[in-house]
Amino acid sequence: MTMELVFIPSPGIGHLRSTVELAKQLVNGDERLSITVIIIPRSSGGDASDFAQISSFFTPSQDRLRHETISVADNPTGERLPTQVYIANQKPQVRDAVAKLLDPTGVNSPSPPRLAGFVIDMFCISMMDVADEFGVPTYMVYTSNAAFLGFSLHLQKMYDEKKLDTSELSESVNELEVPCFSRPYPVGCLPYIFVSKEWLPLFLAQARNFRKMKGILVNTVAELEPQALNVLSRDDGGDLPRAYPIGPVLHLQNGSRHDDGGKESEILRWLDEQPAKSVVFLCFGSLGGFSDEQTREIAVALDRSGHRFLWSLRRASPNILTEGPGDYTNLEEVLPEGFLDRTSDRGKVIGWAPQVAVLAKPAIGGFVTHCGWNSMLESLWFGVPMVTWPLYAEQKVNAFEMVEELGLAVEIRRFIKGDLLEGVMETVTAEDLERAITRVMEEDSDVRNKVNEVAEKCHVALMDGGSSKTALRKFIQDVVENVVV
């Protein structure tokens, strides 16, 4: 009998891409499994390119991996809803799609699959209610790391049991003991989401729901985060779900922009002409943008460093919750006078960057990153040491882990105040950034050697007998055993 898993990713191509990568691994790992990915369209409705990309992820030969795009519920007010609220509003449509999938008189007749469970994105917690209606377990895909998962669960437990409110910590409290780290975590590095009266309740509620999962698939590698995974594997009173370190889940076929006028090809050709490990790459994710003042400081640092560089530069958004960063229309107006001329033979300033394709190039010697977890995994996969510049969400925790816990990155400064979610960011000086770039580009540094070792471990983890492959098989075994006979 076929056992069906229903996958529900958050809206957006980025979430769907990694979901499909994981789903492919699962159906290839056991012929008894089939998977239907239920796609919730973006609240903006998406465009034709969205639908074209979705179709490209699924091929006719993958008969046990299908997708179903639901029609979203109407929003009478017309106002943009918070992501979790928008997703929760789609529960009736998801319920109908699953019921249709299991209908013995429908397309799957005469032998519809047995529903084995829901596998939901970490921002689709509300879909656990639908799984409960069908009487099946809910598993979660956690797209960040094991350390931040453990961090969130610990703070939630301290809040509920000991009334530790991180939004009201006294300035006299400098450090927190967090089990998923081997050293104390500095209070000054707490993400804004944990010190904001607005955001903290949302993340505490999310962590409480994490504990209700049957299991959590974590996008990490056992050899990368042993301390955090050891904490998650403890009984802890019996209320922690099993964590499966099944990463890195990466989509290494870089998404091209077909309307870029050949700029991507030009960038990659230029990198092919540069010496090995000679270029520092600066890229800050889809939401990372900077003020004019900060942009000038970065330019001065690159000018003084003398290193070759590839800089993906975006203008800061006034509010990243409502709109993304934009491109500068005239670089000469914002960059220091003569910067482009002085650095024309050793650097490029670009807009959007094909990040995976760039990191894969031998010329890249260092990566200045916003510390998004996917970006960090990509950097480790290709053996590129990082400079950490956390900008929002959980990125300060990611930076702490990479720099202080694992020694795989160089920090600009331990405390960078502000957060893009808060709308306030401290300006990083050219001196601090130049110092970090100089360190990360050292040829035979401890950080570079450690990154190379971890890159090898990440590759081995995904091979037969590797830790991630083994964890994935264990997940499949547990799913099969949990199916109600």
pLDDT tens-digit series, residues 344-360: 999 999 999 999 999 99
pLDDT tens-digit series, residues 233-251: 875 555 789 999 999 999 8
Q: How far apart are CA 181 and CA 170, in angstroms?
A: 22
Torsion of CA 42, 45, 51, 57, to 10 degrees: 0
Q: Report, as an integer, the average pLDDT of 429-456.
A: 97
Q: How far apart are CA 367 and CA 433, in angstroms?
A: 12
- For the chain, what is the domain count? 2
Same-domain pairing of 224 and 281: no
- What pLDDT does 49 receive? 52
Least confident residue range of 36-40, 81-85, 128-132, 347-351: 81-85
Phi/psi for 425 (5° steps) reads -130, 130
Q: Where do we find the tokens 């490209």?
A: 56
Same-domain pairing of 222 and 336: no
pLDDT tens-digit series, residues 369-394: 999 999 999 999 999 999 999 999 99
Of 167, 35, 194, which is closest to residue 101 (Cα–Cα)? 35
Task: State the residue range of the domain holding 318.
Answer: 263-458
Instruction: Determine the 3-state secondary structure of 325 from DSSP.
Output: coil
pLDDT tens-digit series, residues 279-302: 999 999 989 999 999 999 999 999
- What pLDDT does 171 receive? 63
DSSP secondary structure letter of residue 253: S
What are 462's two structure tokens?
A: 């995904």
Beta bridge partners of 367: 281, 386
Beta bridge partners of 67: 37
DSSP secondary structure letter of residue 326: B
Same-domain pairing of 365 and 432: yes
Same-domain pairing of 211 and 232: yes
Instruction: Tell me the percentage of the chain whose pLDDT exceeds 90.
Output: 72
DSSP secondary structure letter of residue 74: P
pLDDT exceeds 60 at position 463: yes
- What pLDDT does 255 receive? 52
Same-domain pairing of 452 and 473: no
pTM, entire model: 0.92
pLDDT exceeds 50 at position 258: no
pLDDT exceeds 70 at position 484: no
Classify strands 347-350 and 418-419 as parallel, antiparallel or unpaired: unpaired
Q: Report, as an integer, the average pLDDT of 85-111.
A: 84
- What pLDDT does 103 receive? 84
339 within a domain of the structure (yes/no): yes
Same-domain pairing of 289 and 392: yes
Same-domain pairing of 113 and 211: yes
Same-domain pairing of 476 and 381: no
191 within a domain of the structure (yes/no): no
What are 56's two structure tokens?
A: 């490209």
Q: For position 471, which CATH number holds?
A: 3.40.50.2000
DSSP secondary structure letter of residue 263: H
Same-domain pairing of 295 and 211: no
What are 250's two structure tokens?
A: 């990466």
**DSSP secondary structure of 42-59:** -TT---HHHHHHHHHH--
